[in-house]
Amino acid sequence: MGKARATQRPLGSAFAPATLGASTVLIPCGVTLGMEFLAIASGSPLAGAAIMGTFVLGTTPLFAVIGYAARRSSAMLRGRLAVLAAVAVAISGLVSVNAGLVLSDSSITLSSVWSSVTGGDEQSASTTGNASAPLPTLDADGVQRIAISASDSGYAPTGQRLRAGVPTELVVSTSNTVGCTRVLVVPSTGAQVFLPETGETPIDLGVLQPGQVGITCGMGMYSASFEVIA
């Protein structure tokens, strides 16, 4: 399978945005970003509006069903809706704050604080198993390359070891991936890459310094990290 640079990709069908919206309405974060990328890449205001419009139409039926169900159950939930709404808003706020911290490459996030409080250590868990793994070899061009896969449930493997002080390229493979992991962000460099549904995408990480380097999805929900060895 050949490598595909993550740039503009033609829309395979006029109904693709509507179908994607209908099938992923409950996880609109990264998919919405993907549709926005397609709309921008079209280079046409009319084409971009058509893409976003048909995507919204695809989400309409399920939202209508959800609205109808909520109305039918309003009698049962009478007096509790305000509390439930407040809890939902609070949870959404915490998730958004944590995503913002992840995307800003902060060393302290809500998830890391939670891990500390509960006695877990996500970073140690991800790197311990690879502590004795060999460092990647340098190719003929002097670049070290590592490969990971991006699926709808995250990036794997995580915790790989890299050499410091040499050019590094990350090759990300996808296979029918449609989730928010398709929008890959490297917080340390600010790079944002829109991955194809299926293919291999090389991403230049530059010359790394000793420490940790991480990647995350466009919403800060899924992430992976690599240990850079001097």
First to last CA, the chain: 33
Average of per-residue pLDDT across 139-147: 91
Contact (Cβ atoms closer than 8 angstroms) between residue 32 and residue 52: no
So what's the pLDDT on residue 179? 81
So what's the pLDDT on residue 124? 43
So what's the pLDDT on residue 46? 87
Tokens standing for residue 126: 């991800």
So what's the pLDDT on residue 130? 56
Cα separation, 219 vs 119, whole angstroms? 26
| pLDDT per position as a tens digit, 25-79 | 444 455 676 677 777 767 788 888 888 888 888 878 877 887 777 777 766 666 6
pLDDT band, very low/low/confident/very high, at 207 (cuts 50, 70, 90): very high
So what's the pLDDT on residue 6? 45
Average of per-residue pLDDT across 181-190: 87
So what's the pLDDT on residue 123? 44
So what's the pLDDT on residue 114? 66
CA angle 44, 50, 51 (to 5 degrees): 90
Contact (Cβ atoms closer than 8 angstroms) between residue 175 and residue 195: no
So what's the pLDDT on residue 190? 82
| pLDDT per position as a tens digit, 117-134 | 766 544 444 444 455 667
| pLDDT per position as a tens digit, 64-104 | 887 777 777 766 666 676 677 777 777 777 776 766 666 66
Mean pLDDT computed over every residue of the chain: 75
So what's the pLDDT on residue 117? 72
pTM of the complete model = 0.54
